[in-house]
Amino acid sequence: MLEVRTAVIIFVAIVVAAAVLVGLSRRLLLRHQILDRPNARSSHETPTPRGGGLGVLAILLPAWVVVSFTIPSTIVGDSEARWVIPLAALLLAAVSWIDDVRGLAPGPRFAVQLSAGFVGALLIPGQVFQGLLPGPVDTVVAAIGWVWFVNLFNFMDGIDGISGVETITIGLGITLIGMLAGGSLDAIHVQSLIVAAAAAGFLVWNWAPARIFLGDSGSVPLGYLLGWLLLSLAASGEWQAAAILPLYYLADATITLFRRIARREKFWHAHRDHYYQAAIKHGMSHARVSTAIAVVNLLLVGLALVSVSAGPGTPWPWVALLAAGILVALLLAWLARPRTTAKN
């Protein structure tokens, strides 16, 4: 177990290290002209270095492994997950880096993601759906949902600050749930804290106007690690909290997917149909959209804490989940509302 004061020190150290490493990555990416150039589907207007995830992972993965082997976990326990999960994230980062630099067909990318999802799902401590599904079915559905989460996290990384905000709030939310349970944090809660800290260091460079983007090599492994943390939280019995914390991303990406399918569009192609992208097209700035999402996410963290503190057998976890759904629906409606104001 880790004391809260020590966790705060770790958080600050990781933030500083991530900011420094992302800055160094930016210099290398500029030198080699690895840039995300604007096109018809972009939400940015100037070529920007792509691959900031390299700096994030350079501190995140080693710290994750150290925590796995030095801090015991009452949720995950000692298992192959301590090294399989970070290795899978590293593999996803490598494949996604090839896609960032040279381009890669969807088939190989999806095959690697599916393999990582199924291998990881076999290591989840307990049943994600709390006995509602038979054991093997629970594993298969969890793996498919995990792969979807990895991809939606990548899809949603479309404007300055948004992925940093999402990662920080999910990571801190899981950490606060651990603190609510007693005051000392075990491995999964410290790993969540490390993910949030690394994202905060990246946000120093990615807040509008962004000076670097995550790239697929950052968003895909980050989505994978967050997926592991959320599924582990659900398997521990706190599935309402695990659904509440990422609810905005889940809703925006999933509703947009089904809308595109209904319109018989090539939904696997890049697009600008997400709700946050609609707000940008209607004149809102990247900073304002990401700030609004951050505010709602903080409220979602509060609702997740309500669902955990209420305890099983009470209606409050369900009330918190319903309130979270209403809150996210209001955010989506606000983002989609036409505007005539200029960008600020």
Distance CA 339, CA 343 (A): 10
CA distances from 199 to 19, 97, 141, 306 (A): 9, 18, 28, 25
Distance CA 38, CA 27 (A): 20
Distance CA 85, CA 328 (A): 30
Which residue is listed with tokens 């019995």?
237
Distance CA 38, CA 64 (A): 34
Distance CA 330, CA 327 (A): 5
Confidence bin at 344 (pLDDT 50/70/90): very low
pTM (2 d.p.): 0.94
The closest of 289, 297, 325, 331 to 226, measured between CA atoms, is 297
Res 342 pLDDT > 60: no
CA distances from 128 to 86, 156, 214, 231 (A): 20, 24, 29, 6
pLDDT at 321: 97
The closest of 143, 134, 250, 157 to 206, measured between CA atoms, is 157
Model pLDDT for residues 31-68, shown as the tens digit of each residue: 999 998 876 566 667 889 999 999 999 999 999 999 99
- What average pLDDT does range 213-231 have in this prediction? 97
Answer for the pair 300, 327: CB distance below 8 angstroms, yes or no: yes
- Residues of 306-321 as b/e, b for ≥16 C-beta within 10 angstroms? bbbebeeeeebbeebb
Q: Which two tokens mark 296? A: 């709602």
Could you tell me the residue ranges of all domains in the chain?
A: 4-336
Model pLDDT for residues 130-184, shown as the tens digit of each residue: 888 998 999 999 999 999 999 999 999 999 999 999 999 999 999 999 988 765 6
